[in-house]
Structure 1
Amino acid sequence: MKVLVPVKRVIDYNVKVRVKADGSGVDLANVKMSMNPFDEIAVEEAIRLREKGVATEVVAVSIGVKQSQETLRTALAMGADRAILINAADDVHNDIEPLAVAKLLAAVVAEEEPGLVLCGKQAIDNDMNATGQMLAALLGWAQGTFASKLEIDGETAKVTREVDGGLQTIEVKMPAIVTVDLRLNEPRYASLPNIMKAKKKPLDEKTPADYGVDVSPRLEIVSTTEPAARKAGVKVGSVDELIAKLKDEAGVL
C-alpha cells in the first residue's frame, strides 16, 4: 500500500509572528520556516506503517513556493521514499487556499493511487482545518479526523479520534483520508546520514497547470492585526463578588 503525505512550509512554531506595519499580512522577512508540526506527525506515522510492513512506499507532496523543497527534503530525511513539489506560487506571502490545495491533491491521488492519505489536521499558520475534509469530499473517500491512534487491518482502518467529550473510535474502509492530531506519535529527528541520503532521493516538480487546476484566490485579506493585549487579572474578596463579576462583566453566567 502506498501512503501519500501532504506537507506544508510554515513559520517555525518557536518564532514569534510579527504583523507588517501596514497591516497587509504577516512579516516573513528573515523568518525561520519549517514543516507544519501536524504534518511532521503524519510523516512519522506513514514511516512507521512502512516499517511495520503495512505500507510499501511513502510519498510526500507539498504545494506552494519553490522553497518548499526544503520541507520535502526534511520529509525525505525522516524516511519518505520520494517527493512531489507543486510550484503554485511565486511569492511566499501568497497562501494557497484549502480548496485549491484539495483539488491539486485529488489530482495527485488520481495519478499516484495511494491506499491512504495521511495529513496534519491543520496548518499552524492559518488554522483552517479544511484541506483533509475537502479532499475526502472530492474523492468520495472515507475520512477519520483528529486521529490520536491509527490501526490498519487489511481493508479497514481503525481511527481513535480526539473529540470534545473524550475519545471516539471509528472504523473506515480503505482507501481513506486520515488527519492526525498531536498525540498520535513523537516524530523522529533526521540523522545526518539520512539528511545526506535525502539529497539523492527523487523530487519531482510540477505546476497546477499540469493538473488543470486553477489556484487563483477566492478570498481577499482586508487587514491583519495582532491580538489585543490581555487585561491584568483582579483579586476578589468573596465568592459572591466572583459570581457578580462573572455574571455582569464577563457575561459567562
Structure 2
Amino acid sequence: KTWYLNRPVTFLGRGQDCDIVLLDHSVSRRHLRVDRTGDGFSVTDDGSGNGTWLNGAKVSRDELYDGDRLLVGDTTLVFSTVGLPRRRPVVGGQVTDPGHRPQVKGPTLGDRLPQVPVKWVLAWLATTLVAVAVTVSVVRVIRARRYAQARAVAESWRSQAVEAVNQRQWPQAREALQAAEALDPALLDFSAEYQRLGQAVRDEQVLARARQALSAGDPAEALTQIGQIAADSPYAFDARMLRRRAEAALGSGAPTRAPSPR
C-alpha cells in the first residue's frame, strides 16, 4: 500500500486518530511523525514503546531519503519520492548512517595556532567568496530545474485525476490529486478539489437511495433525495432523468413496481 505525504506533518501509529493507521499490535498508538522540511522530509519518534528504526539504526529524529527503510513494530516501510529522487548525502566516500554525527576535534583554548600570512588569508577569502557566489548560482539553477520537473510530473497526475473524474472513479481521482499535491502544493486549490470529490461521492449515494425509493414505490421519497443533488453535480443529468420518472409516478398515483405475489 502507498501513502502520500501531502501534509506538513503526518502522524503514523495504531490509533485511529493518526493520518496513517497500521494494524500492528507492536506499533504504538502514535508511533512517529513525518515532517516536511524544505525540500525533503524528516522522521521523528513520538515516544513509541518499541522505538523507530531507520536502515537498521534506532533513531529519535533523522532526515529521510529515497530507499530508506523504516522498521515500525513488525512493519517495514520504504520511503520514496515521486519524480526526482532524493539521495542520502555521501561523506568521506561513504553514505552517512542515520543518527551518525562525525566528531571533529578542533583546537582547544591552550593550542597555539600557526601564523598565516595576511595575503594568503585575503586570497583565500576572495576565492571563497567567488566559490560561494558560483555555488549559490548553481543551487538556484538546480532548484529551478527540480521545480520544473516536479511541476511537470504534478501536471501529469492532475491529468490522470481529471480522467478519473470523467469516468466517475472517485478513489483513483483522489489518489492522483494527492500525488500532484505532494509534488506541487501550489498547482491548484487542492482543498476545493477534495471538497468537490467528497460531494460527488455523497451525490452518488443520494442517487442510489433515490433509485431504491422509486423501486420501492415511494416516488415522494425519491424526489426528496433527488432535491439534495446540486445542479453542477456530476450526477445532475442522472438526477433530472430520475426526477421525471418520479414525478410521472407521483402524478399517476401508481406504484413504480408491481406488488410481490402473496
Pair member with larger Rg: 2
More strand by share: 1
Normalized against structure 2, the TM-score is what? 0.24
More helix by share: 2
Normalized against structure 1, the TM-score is what? 0.24
Q: Which has the higher contact order (CA 8 A, sep 6+)?
A: 1
